[in-house]
Structure formats: structure tokens, C-alpha cells
Amino acid sequence: MLNLEEEQNIFSQGYNKIGAMDEAGRGPLAGPVVAACVLLESGSAPRISDDLLLINDSKKLTAKRREKLFDIITSEFEFAIGVCDHNTIDRINILQASFLAMKKAIGAIKRKPDFIILDGKLPIPNISISQKAITGGDRLVFSVAAASILAKVTRDRMMMEAHEAYPGYGFDKHKGYGTKFHMEQLRKFGPSPIHRKSFGPVKDALILKTKIKI
């Protein structure tokens, strides 16, 4: 069960607004990377209700539970979402695109945080806000876990829309990750317009498609 220990420790250092962050979509072969920022303010930290007790790393939750928690989190907290599409990922690489999506989320939130907590090993480069990167933060820190749910649900919904546009790849099932079925369809049809052409398996599929055409 997650609590607000990390957040309270940061508030005790004199910070007033924490922006907790996580992203979804670094590993897939297609689609965007999505970051979420969830704001907590000193003196008005939420009461951990029975519903909020269910918050955990999004990867440990069922899709149904994530959807329920998404509605609860977005009604209880100020939040913002940042997105970088496949073209941006191909242009600047997935790590930098992840950081850019986080910066977009920070830029979009109405009340600016004076401290950022994020999941991962690396802090966000080139921002003036104090921050702390926590490996496994999405399973250790309440607010980061909440951000992970918002990022995951938002991205999953985007991939469901992508499935409507490109139904042959099964984006509604695997959300762009390199499952066996996805790899089979990628080799069969070649990359879709939203595949990340800088990723190895997609590059290979492009080469195969070119050879077949020749």
C-alpha cells in the first residue's frame, strides 16, 4: 500500500507544489510516448480514501481498474498530459522524446510545481525546477503511481483510436508493443504510418517490404 511519505518529506523541505511524473510508451514499436504530471500542494494533500488506496504502478493493475482510477485521479487532482508522436521519437530518439513529453506536461499544468518527482534513473534535463528521479518510483511513490495511471490510460486510448485507423496490426490488443502477433503483422503488411521507423524491428520490416517490391 502506497502512502504520502515521500511527498511529505519534500514538503518538509519547504517546497509547496509537487509535480509527480511518469511516462508510458517508451518500449512500443508504434504510437506516441505520453507523460502525465499530477500536482500535489502542501497543506492540501489528499485523504487516502478506499479508492485511492488502489493506486499502484499502472503495470500492476488491470485495464478496468486503471480506467476506474483514471476517473478518480482526474477528479481529485490537478493534472496535465504531454505527448510526443512517432515522428518526434524518430527525429530526437525515444529518451529525449520522453523528456520532451514531460516538459510539455509541466508546461500545460496551470499551477506550476516547484519540485518534480519522476520515475526513472535520470532527471529531466534543462529545466529550472528542483527534481528527484526515483528508480521504481511508479511502484514506490503514491503520486508517481497516480501519474503512471494517467499516462498509461491516455496512451492506451490513443492506441485504441489508432486501431480504428489501422486495424490490421492489433493495436487494440498490444498497444504497439512487439508481441508475436504484432511482429507477424508488421512483416506481413510493412510498417503503418504510426510505426517508429528508427526502431530495429520496424527498420527490418521496411527493408523486407522494399525487397518484396523489387
What's the pLDDT score for residue 99? 98
Comparing 141-145, 164-168, 184-188, 209-213, the range with the smallest average pLDDT is 209-213
> Which CATH number is 5-167's, of 3.30.420.10, 3.30.70.20, 3.90.1210.10, 3.40.50.1580?
3.30.420.10
Q: Are 65 and 72 in contact (CB under 8 A)?
A: no
Q: List, for residues 103-158, the tens digit of each pLDDT value.
A: 999 999 999 999 999 999 999 999 999 999 999 999 999 999 999 999 999 999 99
pTM above 0.85, yes or no: yes
User: Going by DSSP bridges, is the β-strand pair 130-134/78-84 parallel, antiparallel, or unpaired?
Assistant: unpaired
Q: List, for residues 41-86, the tens digit of each pLDDT value.
A: 998 766 656 666 678 778 888 899 999 999 999 998 999 999 999 9
- Kind and range of the H or E run holding 80: strand 78-84
What's the pLDDT score for residue 137? 92
